[in-house]
Amino acid sequence: MSSSRQFLKEIYSHLFEVFGAQKWWPAETPFEVMVGAILTQNTNWKNVEKALQNLKQSAALQPNAMYQLSTSELELLIQPSGFFRQKAKRLKTFLKYFLEEYEGDVALMKEKSTSALREELLALKGIGPETADSILLYALEKPIFVIDAYTKRILFRHYLALEEDDYESLQDRFHSSFADDHVYFNEYHALLVQVGKNYCRPKNPKCSECPLNAFNWNGGTYQRLSSSME
DNA sequence: TGCCAGGCCGGGT
DNA sequence: ACCCGGCATGGC
């Protein structure tokens, strides 16, 4: 019925053909995903990697070990990721929650429902929609779609979204387009990041080489804007 | 060499 | 309900 939904499905199929499986999130453990999700807030992933490396070298990339670090110790380790004072605080807030509610145990946390966990995460200072959903999808394997800056920009550039579309509305569009399949949501968002990094930067966009051009028509635009795509 | 990066919060209209 | 400044580093 909805051409929007159909577009989203076709885009996924095409991107998967072009790029293949992405094997996201780039981390060795679910806990590393959780930490990375907080550290990457408005931050280049390259800088996050340095911080994660520091934490690993200090044997601090575990819930208890990290929580027991002093604030200044934690700040120093994550400094390369920027906003380090805020992020140290946010990590501590999350760790306290993770340890007190789930004993720092990912399996235990996964037992609870997606909606309940999302509310809990959003209630924490420093965890917003994207961070919460990244944790839900990539650390806890919950079927929820992550909307990030890349996703927004790509949808907007290709006339599948408007600037004023909010997080939930964009997310709902993906949710209503597919079955609740966390593997699928995982792969799809990772593919969009691939497109975003390589073809859809604000400066130096390589739009002419973008794989999504396969779906363009009438001079590189889709037929309708999102607002008219019921 | 400025501009940018996988946000979020809090205070002010 | 929006709007905006602050937060900070390293890469290109």
The model's pLDDT over A24-64, given as tens digits with 9 standing for 90+, comes to 999 999 999 999 999 999 999 999 999 999 999 999 999 99
Prediction pTM value? 0.94
Composition of chain A by helix, strand, coil, percent to 5: 65, 0, 35
Among all protein residues, pick the one whose CA is nearest to the C1' atom of C2. A164
At A187, which helix (H) or strand (E)? Answer: helix A182-199
The stretch A184-198 carries a mean pLDDT of 97
What's the CATH code, domain A3-23+146-223? 1.10.1670.10
Q: How confident is the model at residue A178 (pLDDT cuts 50, 70, 90)?
A: confident
- Which residues have Cβ atoms closer than 7 angstroms to strand B? A 24-26, 36-37, 40-45, 47, 82-83, 86, 124-132, 134, 138, 148-150, 193, 196-197, 201-203
Closest nucleotide to A197 by C1' from CA:
B6
User: Between 2.30.31.20, 1.10.150.20, 3.40.640.10, 1.10.340.30, what CATH number should domain A30-139 receive?
Assistant: 1.10.340.30
Phi, psi angle pair for A221, to nearest 5°: -135, 155
Q: Domain boundaries in chain A?
A: 3-23+146-223, 30-139
Among all protein residues, pick the one whose CA is nearest to the C1' atom of B10. A125
Closest nucleotide to A41 by C1' from CA:
B7
What's residue A214's pLDDT?
82
CA atom of A3 to C1′ atom of C6, Å: 41
CA atom of A17 to C1′ atom of B9, Å: 40
Closest nucleotide to A75 by C1' from CA:
C8
Please enumerate in sequence order all residues whose Cβ is within 8 A of that of A221, keeping only pairs 6 or more positions apart, or say none: A159
Domain A30-139 in the same topology as domain A3-23+146-223: no
CA atom of A56 to C1′ atom of C1, Å: 43
- For tokens 């501590």, name the residue: A92
CA atom of A216 to C1′ atom of B7, Å: 31
What's residue A226's pLDDT?
39
CA atom of A82 to C1′ atom of C8, Å: 4
What are A116-171's pLDDT values in tens digits? 999 999 999 999 999 999 999 999 999 999 999 999 999 999 888 999 999 999 99
Q: How confident is the model at residue A5 (pLDDT cuts 50, 70, 90)?
A: confident
What's residue A216's pLDDT?
61
CA atom of A218 to C1′ atom of C6, Å: 43
Q: How confident is the model at residue A230 (pLDDT cuts 50, 70, 90)?
A: very low
The stretch A103-126 carries a mean pLDDT of 98
CB A94 within 8 A of CB A126: yes
